[in-house]
Chain A
Amino acid sequence: MLLHLVARRAALGLLLVVIGAGTASAQFDPTGSWAPLATEDVQNDSLPVDYLGLALTDEGRTRALSYDEAQKAMVERQCQGWGASYMVLGPFGLRVSSQTDPVTKRIVSYTIDPWEDWNGMTIWMDGRAHPSESALHTQAGFTTGRWEGGALAARTTHMKAAFIRKTGVPLTDQATLDWRFYRHGDVLTVLLVAQDPVYLEEPEIISKGFRLSPAPLDFRDPCVTGFEGREPGDSVPHFPPDKNPFADEFVKFFGLPREAVMGHRETLYPEYRKKIKDTYVQPPPCVNSCGAAGNFVRR
């Protein structure tokens, strides 16, 4: 009798262990403050027209060239934020916390806190489904996650139309973002694969490194709107796509091929180097701010 009782309890205990292990166990702890390493140029926003490293469709390129950054001076748009992908495209770090079920103590979600111009992200880890296609789209979108092969894998859908670059390169509200978070020691690498059936010919892939910060990151205050020269109701600043006055600025400054600056797909592969080898002329030596972050300090 005693043996049967022990066996029954052992079976129950093992069953709980197996179920728990299969669904909720974190493979690493992503919580804490993560400072950006900033040793890779993933922002590409120092000049108004910089689409290097993108594979844009003609529609995407045309829409991007129509963008005027003065749009962000409009009161209606000042606090709009840059969309979910800005988590790795922006200059800020990550402050990650977890939320647990009060009864089971299992992790229900991870939250990445917002910045001044980014809306934050909640990664639901409890197995819930994404909403229906016609459900509300928001700036942050809807994100679910799971542990997979040593990484925290997540997918974001249901975003409002937004940007993949601060230079106005657009994403539609049909875009999806696939994320992977890898932790190796104190370094967190966040991989983003962005897909858009309208504006991207191939996925945009960004990986950005962060280092665990012993002190909590100091985030800026929430965005507050103010008058920046445009009255509410004014027209939306824009350029006719073929008359963007900045279209050739980057090309001239660094002698770069125009198709690369304009985000043509072929420029992302090694074969393209062979194509431009005999025509590329190295620019004159750098004489100003040669070690500063970013491309330029001219603006």
Chain B
Amino acid sequence: MKLAMAAAMVMLVGFAGPRAVHAQQVGGAPPSARDSALIDLTGYWVSYVTENWRYRMVTPPKGEYRRIPVTPAAVPLINAWDPAADERAGLQCKSYGAGNIMSVPGRLHITWQDADTLRIDTDAGTQTRLLRFSPRAAAPGARAWQGESSANWERAPGPGGGGSLRVATSNLRAGYLRKNGVPYSERATVSEQFDIAPLPGGGQLLLVTTTVEDPVYLRLPYVVSPHFKKEPDGSKWEPTPCSSTW
């Protein structure tokens, strides 16, 4: 009988534990995004290009937009793509914006800029994304290739733990979904889910399910899911500038 009571008490305490901790936190400062991270995204990651190879590893032909559900309004822009003009206008980073940057073959370096801001640097195009877990005090700034990104952890339901990072990005400069000038407008929004999977035999895989929605140039959401392998260090990190042709 005593054993049964003891077991009941142990289990009750076990269930009450996290709530008790939470109750303590209610009175104090909430844990930072870094402290409450559900998955560890930090480190170096390299693109592993097994999908959309012809659209990512080389510049596809001008005028081709297969598998992108563009509106009729986009077609004249696609056919008028002029990389030299982009270069002259200082727009050589149009295919490195948040709508496409994760599909550009290269490496990511993910770090915590501060306790509530996750930072992603890319060596291809030398871009920086800041994923903010707490709202900015200041008003949104000027439109940028990487826009403004808000982030939150999404805890997996059930007892298994784990979860995912959700990122929503807006306030973008108009850019390209592909190097050959398939456009997205500055009204586009980008939603991303970052998930991590173990690789058989060791290693980790980062999967970024990316949904681009654009009321101007997309009839339907454009969804891709580029993936990355984790690397032990930054020895292969090689920043290169944006290029409108390559």
Q: A interface vs B, CB < 8 Å? A: 3-4, 7-8, 10-11, 14-15, 18, 21-22, 25-28, 37-42, 52-54, 147-151, 153, 176, 178, 180, 182, 184, 187, 189, 191, 193, 195, 203-209, 254, 256, 260, 267-273, 276-277, 280, 282-287, 289-295
Q: How far is the CB of A192 from chain B (nearest CB, A)?
A: 10
Given contacts A25-B158, A150-B195, contact A40 B63 (CB under 8 A): no
Cross-interface CB contact of A209 among B124, B154, B209, cutoff 8 Å: B209
- The answer on a CB contact under 8 Å between A295 and B227 is no
Cross-interface CB contact of B8 among A14, A191, A271, A277, cutoff 8 Å: A14
Bound together, the chains give a CA A277 to CA B94 distance in angstroms of 19
Besides the contacts A39-B69, A39-B222, A207-B51, what 8 more A-B pairs have beta carbons closer than 8 Å?
Answer: A10-B11, A14-B15, A25-B159, A52-B53, A153-B197, A182-B195, A268-B50, A294-B66
Quick check: which of B28-36, B41-49, B85-93, B126-134 contacts chain A, the rest being far away?
A: B41-49
The answer to whether the Cβ of B160 comes within 8 Å of any Cβ in the partner chain is yes
Bound together, the chains give a CA A287 to CA B63 distance in angstroms of 7
- The answer on a CB contact under 8 Å between B59 and A40 is no
- The answer on a CB contact under 8 Å between B205 and A205 is yes
- The answer on a CB contact under 8 Å between B63 and A27 is no
Pick 25 A–B contacts, CB within 8 A, sort by A. A4-B1, A7-B1, A8-B8, A14-B12, A25-B159, A28-B156, A39-B69, A40-B225, A41-B66, A54-B50, A149-B39, A151-B156, A184-B166, A189-B207, A195-B200, A204-B50, A207-B209, A208-B225, A254-B58, A254-B60, A256-B58, A271-B236, A282-B58, A289-B66, A291-B65
Which of chain A's residues has its CB closest to B107's CB?
A: A270
Cross-interface CB contact of B54 among A41, A153, A268, A276, cutoff 8 Å: A41
- 0/1 per residue, B103-125, Cβ < 8 Å to A? 00111000000000000000010
Given contacts A4-B1, A40-B52, contact A10 B61 (CB under 8 A): no
Cross-interface CB contact of A260 among B46, B53, B207, B209, cutoff 8 Å: B53
The answer to whether the Cβ of B67 comes within 8 Å of any Cβ in the partner chain is yes
Which of chain B's residues has its CB closest to A51's CB?
A: B53
Given contacts A187-B211, A191-B207, A285-B62, contact A53 B162 (CB under 8 A): no
Which of chain B's residues has its CB closest to A297's CB?
A: B66
- The answer on a CB contact under 8 Å between B50 and A27 is no
- The answer on a CB contact under 8 Å between B61 and A11 is no
Which of chain B's residues has its CB closest to A8's CB?
A: B4
Give the 9 A-B CB pairs with smallest separation, nearest first.
A150-B156, A149-B162, A286-B64, A207-B225, A27-B158, A286-B63, A52-B53, A53-B50, A11-B8
Bound together, the chains give a CA A8 to CA B224 distance in angstroms of 53
Q: B interface vs A, CB < 8 Å? A: 1, 4-5, 7-8, 11-12, 15, 39, 46-55, 57-70, 75, 78-79, 105-107, 124, 154-164, 166, 193, 195-197, 199-201, 205, 207, 209, 211, 222-225, 227, 236, 246
Give the residues in chain A near B65, CB-CB below 8 Å.
290-291
Given contacts A182-B164, A203-B199, A285-B63, contact A41 B156 (CB under 8 A): no
- The answer on a CB contact under 8 Å between A293 and B67 is yes
- The answer on a CB contact under 8 Å between A189 and B225 is yes
Cross-interface CB contact of B7 among A11, A207, A209, cutoff 8 Å: A11
Give the residues in chain B near A254, CB-CB below 8 Å.
54, 58, 60-61
Give the residues in chain A near B207, CB-CB below 8 Å.
180, 182, 189, 191, 207
Give the residues in chain A near B11, CB-CB below 8 Å.
10-11, 14-15, 18
Which of chain B's residues has its CB closest to A190's CB?
A: B225
- The answer on a CB contact under 8 Å between A37 and B57 is no
Given contacts A18-B11, A41-B52, A269-B48, contact A209 B223 (CB under 8 A): yes
Which of chain A's residues has its CB closest to B224's CB?
A: A40
Bound together, the chains give a CA A42 to CA B67 distance in angstroms of 11
Cross-interface CB contact of A149 among B4, B63, B78, B163, cutoff 8 Å: B163
Bound together, the chains give a CA A37 to CA B220 distance in angstroms of 10
- The answer on a CB contact under 8 Å between B5 and A4 is yes
Which of chain A's residues has its CB closest to B211's CB?
A: A187
Give the residues in chain A near B63, CB-CB below 8 Å.
285-287, 290
Q: How far is the CB of B132 from chain A (nearest CB, A)?
A: 20
Given contacts A150-B160, A193-B199, contact A7 B67 (CB under 8 A): no
- The answer on a CB contact under 8 Å between B66 and A206 is no
Give the residues in chain B near A151, CB-CB below 8 Å.
156, 162, 195, 197
Give the residues in chain A near B161, CB-CB below 8 Å.
149
Bound together, the chains give a CA A40 to CA B64 distance in angstroms of 14
Give the residues in chain A near B105, CB-CB below 8 Å.
269-270, 273
Bound together, the chains give a CA A291 to CA B205 distance in angstroms of 31
